[in-house]
Amino acid sequence: DNGAFLAWAPLDTAGERFAFQAVAPSGDTLWRELPLRLPQSAPGPACPAPPHPRNCRLPARITFTLDHTVLRTGPEQAYALFPPSGTVAWADTFIPPYYRVRLEPGHSLWVEEKFVALDTLHCDPPRGAVSRVRVTGGDPWVTVAVGLDQPLLFSLEEGDDPGELVLDLFGAQSRLGRVDYASGDPLVREIRWEQIRDGVLRLEIFLNAPLWGYGAVWEKGSLALKIRRPPEIQARALQDRIIVLDPGHGGAQPGAVGPTRLAEKEPNLKLALALKDYLERKGARVFLTRTGDTALDLYARVDSAVAWNAEILLSLHNNALSDGVNPFMNHGSAVYYFQPQSLELARTLHRYLLAATDLPDHGFYYQNLALARPTEMLAALIECAFMMYPEEEMLLRDDEFLRRTAAGLAQGLEAFLAAGRTDPH
């Protein structure tokens, strides 16, 4: 009733009349129909465009030149692989702006041209041989070095068993005779290899502890798999833990905007500062990806967490709704995770978040989000409340509500750390 902005209403440009539905908190519904006439778009081409000239140079080798390269299941489709810079692959088709990348017969992915450079010096698909595997201890990272004479495309993901990593190397053949457990490090229990198909070599790495982070980089003729040693949890569970808090949005990126024009970036930062205070009082080492009203790229946030050697990354947000979704039926608190190693952390935070906010449970989700995707640490994304729901927007203006939510998240982190995952291999 206060004249506040509610939402932009989408138009279906295929029609000429449009109806909008408004739902009141009581459930009353109002329909409004507006006759509109839009200019007709020009007809499309009668036949498909000819192949792009770049296809004349394909198939060819390509090199991924940027960090955070994204390979997709199809043009504009789901994310699949994230090869490090310097990885080589084989492209056989170009449909602007995507190359099709052949992993093996019958298995292809797609990558945008901005991530790659054509290799004009080689005219054959990249192939390589794995000649050695060596385990080297370290603190906090144990390294499994996979000797390889080409930086081949690979996938690295968690296996079915707790504490298992599975590495598939595309274009690789085995010349292995043994695995060198040089350091005798107790974290790595066993490594097995198998030529699962011609040109696809699989390594399975079994640990004596749950995963707390992993990654892969190219180092001096080897693919170096970095596996984080689980931290040794002390009597004060948060003592010396390295935690990165990411207040979502900032600067020219306001995030969601509530009915009274509260920008999401503001409560995100206030919540992060309050949570930092609680965690530091418990002995944690806490870093923030932003401490003021500044914009930051998503991957820059991830890179900061990696540079700080984060053990846990929490991205702090407040939610919005898609067009046409009833905010009176969809609101409350939610938690998202993506990597299986982060599942128990996210579950614990979800439970404590609901107790702290006393808001409806909007859900617990598995979703491929940039700030839930990192493998180098445990990571979760928190949606404390809904910016677009008037009562929850009012709560997000209340510093006491934000402090209570921060205290609940701190208690959730402490409970997760104290519950187990403490074996210092």
Query: Lowest mean pLDDT: which of 31-40, 76-85, 253-262, 284-293?
Result: 31-40
168-221, pLDDT tens digit by residue?
A: 999 999 999 999 998 788 999 999 999 999 999 999 999 999 999 999 999 989
Give the phi and the psi of residue 413 in degrees, each rounded to 5. -60, -45
Which residues form the domain of 398?
242-418
Q: What pLDDT is stored for residue 54 in this prediction? A: 80
Distance CA 204, CA 189 (A): 11
Q: Tell me the CATH number at 333.
A: 3.40.630.40
288 pLDDT tier (thresholds 50, 70, 90): very high
pTM across the whole model: 0.87
> Do residue 204 and residue 337 come from a single domain?
no
> Do residue 296 and residue 401 come from a single domain?
yes
Is residue 344 included in any domain, yes or no? yes
> Do residue 400 and residue 256 come from a single domain?
yes
Write down the residue that tokens 């870093």 correspond to.
287
Q: What pLDDT is stored for residue 377 in this prediction? A: 99
What's the number of domains the chain is made of? 3
> Do residue 397 and residue 355 come from a single domain?
yes
> Do residue 246 and residue 267 come from a single domain?
yes
Domain stop point among 199, 228, 257: 228
> Do residue 108 and residue 187 come from a single domain?
no
> Do residue 250 and residue 357 come from a single domain?
yes
DSSP string of 59-121, one letter each residue: SEEEEE-STT--EESSTT--EEE-PPTT-EEEEEEEETTEEEEEEETTEEEEEEGGGEEEESS
Q: Tell me the CATH number at 75.
A: 2.30.30.40
Domain stop point among 79, 96, 119: 119
Query: Lowest mean pLDDT: which of 41-55, 59-73, 108-122, 293-307?
Result: 41-55
Q: What pLDDT is stored for residue 425 in this prediction? A: 44
Is residue 30 included in any domain, yes or no? no
317-369, pLDDT tens digit by residue?
A: 999 988 778 878 889 999 999 999 999 999 999 999 999 999 999 999 999 99
Is residue 331 included in any domain, yes or no? yes
Distance CA 149, CA 127 (A): 9
> Do residue 79 and residue 213 come from a single domain?
no
Domain stop point among 179, 199, 228: 228
Is residue 144 included in any domain, yes or no? yes
Q: What pLDDT is stored for residue 422 in this prediction? A: 46
20 pLDDT tier (thresholds 50, 70, 90): low
Q: What pLDDT is stored for residue 19 in this prediction? A: 56
Is residue 211 included in any domain, yes or no? yes
